[in-house]
Amino acid sequence: MELVTAHPSGGYILEELRVGMAAEKIIHVTEQRIQLFAEASDDFNPVHLDEAYAAKTAYRGRIAHGLLSASFGSAVVGTILPGAGAIYLSQTLGFHLPVRIGDDVVVRISVVSVDPDTARVELACEGFVDGKMIMDGMALVRVPRRRRPAKD
Protein backbone atom coordinates (compact mmCIF):
# COMPACT_ATOMS: atom_id res chain seq x y z
CA MET A 1 0.00 0.00 0.00
CA GLU A 2 1.34 3.40 -1.03
CA LEU A 3 -0.32 6.22 0.93
CA VAL A 4 -0.75 9.33 -1.20
CA THR A 5 -1.95 12.86 -0.57
CA ALA A 6 -4.12 15.03 -2.77
CA HIS A 7 -2.65 15.73 -6.21
CA PRO A 8 -1.43 19.35 -6.63
CA SER A 9 -3.98 19.79 -9.45
CA GLY A 10 -6.82 18.55 -7.21
CA GLY A 11 -7.18 15.14 -8.82
CA TYR A 12 -5.28 12.21 -10.28
CA ILE A 13 -5.94 11.37 -13.92
CA LEU A 14 -6.29 7.82 -15.19
CA GLU A 15 -2.67 7.48 -16.30
CA GLU A 16 -1.39 8.43 -12.82
CA LEU A 17 -3.39 5.80 -10.92
CA ARG A 18 -1.82 2.48 -9.92
CA VAL A 19 -3.05 -0.56 -8.02
CA GLY A 20 -1.96 -0.20 -4.39
CA MET A 21 -2.30 3.57 -4.13
CA ALA A 22 -4.29 4.52 -1.02
CA ALA A 23 -5.43 7.60 0.85
CA GLU A 24 -6.78 8.14 4.34
CA LYS A 25 -8.77 10.83 6.10
CA ILE A 26 -9.85 11.10 9.72
CA ILE A 27 -13.31 12.56 10.33
CA HIS A 28 -14.62 13.39 13.80
CA VAL A 29 -18.30 12.53 14.34
CA THR A 30 -20.17 15.34 16.05
CA GLU A 31 -23.71 16.12 17.10
CA GLN A 32 -23.79 18.78 14.39
CA ARG A 33 -22.75 16.32 11.64
CA ILE A 34 -25.54 13.94 12.66
CA GLN A 35 -28.11 16.75 12.77
CA LEU A 36 -27.04 18.12 9.38
CA PHE A 37 -27.07 14.63 7.83
CA ALA A 38 -30.58 14.01 9.21
CA GLU A 39 -31.74 17.23 7.57
CA ALA A 40 -29.95 16.54 4.27
CA SER A 41 -31.19 12.94 4.03
CA ASP A 42 -34.61 13.46 5.69
CA ASP A 43 -33.76 10.47 7.93
CA PHE A 44 -34.97 11.42 11.41
CA ASN A 45 -34.87 7.89 12.88
CA PRO A 46 -34.82 8.40 16.68
CA VAL A 47 -31.94 5.92 17.08
CA HIS A 48 -29.81 8.71 15.61
CA LEU A 49 -31.42 11.73 17.29
CA ASP A 50 -33.17 10.78 20.55
CA GLU A 51 -30.98 9.52 23.41
CA ALA A 52 -33.94 8.31 25.52
CA TYR A 53 -35.28 6.25 22.60
CA ALA A 54 -31.84 5.00 21.53
CA ALA A 55 -30.94 3.96 25.10
CA LYS A 56 -33.70 1.34 24.92
CA THR A 57 -32.35 -0.24 21.71
CA ALA A 58 -29.70 -2.92 21.26
CA TYR A 59 -27.19 -0.10 20.70
CA ARG A 60 -27.71 1.32 24.23
CA GLY A 61 -27.47 4.87 22.95
CA ARG A 62 -27.47 7.04 19.87
CA ILE A 63 -25.56 5.97 16.78
CA ALA A 64 -24.64 7.86 13.64
CA HIS A 65 -26.45 7.13 10.38
CA GLY A 66 -24.64 4.35 8.52
CA LEU A 67 -24.75 6.39 5.34
CA LEU A 68 -23.18 9.35 7.15
CA SER A 69 -20.14 7.18 7.86
CA ALA A 70 -20.22 5.86 4.29
CA SER A 71 -20.29 9.42 2.96
CA PHE A 72 -16.87 9.99 4.53
CA GLY A 73 -15.54 7.70 1.78
CA SER A 74 -16.91 10.16 -0.73
CA ALA A 75 -14.81 12.87 0.92
CA VAL A 76 -11.67 10.87 0.13
CA VAL A 77 -12.76 9.88 -3.39
CA GLY A 78 -13.76 13.43 -4.30
CA THR A 79 -10.85 15.32 -2.74
CA ILE A 80 -7.82 13.02 -2.45
CA LEU A 81 -7.92 9.73 -4.39
CA PRO A 82 -8.73 9.93 -7.24
CA GLY A 83 -9.88 13.46 -6.34
CA ALA A 84 -11.48 16.22 -8.39
CA GLY A 85 -13.19 14.90 -11.51
CA ALA A 86 -13.90 11.41 -10.14
CA ILE A 87 -17.52 10.35 -10.66
CA TYR A 88 -19.15 7.58 -8.60
CA LEU A 89 -20.75 4.84 -10.71
CA SER A 90 -21.51 2.32 -7.95
CA GLN A 91 -20.79 1.49 -4.33
CA THR A 92 -21.30 -1.59 -2.17
CA LEU A 93 -21.33 -1.28 1.61
CA GLY A 94 -21.20 -3.52 4.63
CA PHE A 95 -21.70 -2.08 8.13
CA HIS A 96 -20.03 -3.95 10.99
CA LEU A 97 -20.07 -1.74 14.10
CA PRO A 98 -21.97 1.38 15.14
CA VAL A 99 -20.40 4.82 15.09
CA ARG A 100 -21.13 7.26 17.90
CA ILE A 101 -20.79 10.96 18.63
CA GLY A 102 -17.17 11.62 19.54
CA ASP A 103 -15.73 8.81 17.40
CA ASP A 104 -12.92 9.49 14.95
CA VAL A 105 -13.56 7.53 11.75
CA VAL A 106 -10.46 6.68 9.74
CA VAL A 107 -11.50 6.22 6.13
CA ARG A 108 -9.12 4.40 3.78
CA ILE A 109 -9.61 4.22 0.02
CA SER A 110 -7.33 1.91 -2.00
CA VAL A 111 -7.00 1.39 -5.75
CA VAL A 112 -7.81 -2.24 -6.58
CA SER A 113 -7.93 -2.06 -10.38
CA VAL A 114 -7.54 0.45 -13.20
CA ASP A 115 -9.28 -0.11 -16.56
CA PRO A 116 -7.61 2.09 -19.19
CA ASP A 117 -10.25 1.26 -21.83
CA THR A 118 -13.25 2.52 -19.84
CA ALA A 119 -11.42 5.02 -17.55
CA ARG A 120 -12.92 3.22 -14.57
CA VAL A 121 -11.17 2.55 -11.30
CA GLU A 122 -12.24 0.04 -8.66
CA LEU A 123 -11.64 1.20 -5.09
CA ALA A 124 -11.69 -0.69 -1.79
CA CYS A 125 -13.39 1.45 0.84
CA GLU A 126 -12.85 0.86 4.56
CA GLY A 127 -13.72 2.71 7.75
CA PHE A 128 -12.23 2.15 11.20
CA VAL A 129 -12.87 3.41 14.73
CA ASP A 130 -10.17 2.64 17.30
CA GLY A 131 -8.61 0.16 14.86
CA LYS A 132 -11.86 -1.82 14.45
CA MET A 133 -13.49 -2.04 11.02
CA ILE A 134 -16.88 -0.34 11.14
CA MET A 135 -17.66 -0.57 7.40
CA ASP A 136 -16.25 -1.73 4.10
CA GLY A 137 -17.20 -1.97 0.47
CA MET A 138 -16.15 -1.46 -3.13
CA ALA A 139 -16.64 1.59 -5.31
CA LEU A 140 -16.46 1.97 -9.07
CA VAL A 141 -15.58 5.46 -10.28
CA ARG A 142 -14.87 7.07 -13.62
CA VAL A 143 -11.81 9.31 -13.73
CA PRO A 144 -10.63 11.90 -16.25
CA ARG A 145 -8.04 10.91 -18.83
CA ARG A 146 -6.59 14.45 -18.93
CA ARG A 147 -6.69 17.63 -16.91
CA ARG A 148 -8.74 20.64 -17.87
CA PRO A 149 -6.60 23.56 -18.98
CA ALA A 150 -6.23 26.32 -16.40
CA LYS A 151 -8.61 29.23 -16.83
CA ASP A 152 -6.99 32.62 -17.37
83: left (phi over 0), alpha (psi -120 to 50) or beta: left
C-alpha triplet 86, 92, 95: angle, nearest 5°: 120
Beta strand 104-115 with 120-129 is: antiparallel
Q: What is the pLDDT of residue 96?
A: 97
* Residue 14 identity: L
pLDDT per residue over 89-131, tens digit each?
A: 999 999 999 999 999 999 999 999 999 999 999 999 999 999 9
Per the DSSP assignment, residues forming a β-bridge with 133 are 128
The structure's pTM equals 0.90
Q: What percent of the chain has pLDDT over 90?
A: 93
pLDDT per residue over 39-63, tens digit each?
A: 999 999 999 999 999 999 999 999 9
Separation CA 84–CA 108 (nearest Å): 17
pLDDT per residue over 67-89, tens digit each?
A: 999 999 999 999 999 999 999 99
pLDDT per residue over 14-41, tens digit each?
A: 999 999 999 999 999 999 999 999 999 9
Is the pLDDT at 152 greater than 70? The verdict is no
Per the prediction, the chain carries an average pLDDT of 95
User: Are the C-beta atoms of 9 and 80 separated by less than 8 Å?
Assistant: no
Q: How confident is the model at residue 146 (pLDDT cuts 50, 70, 90)?
A: confident
Is the pLDDT at 149 greater than 80? The verdict is no
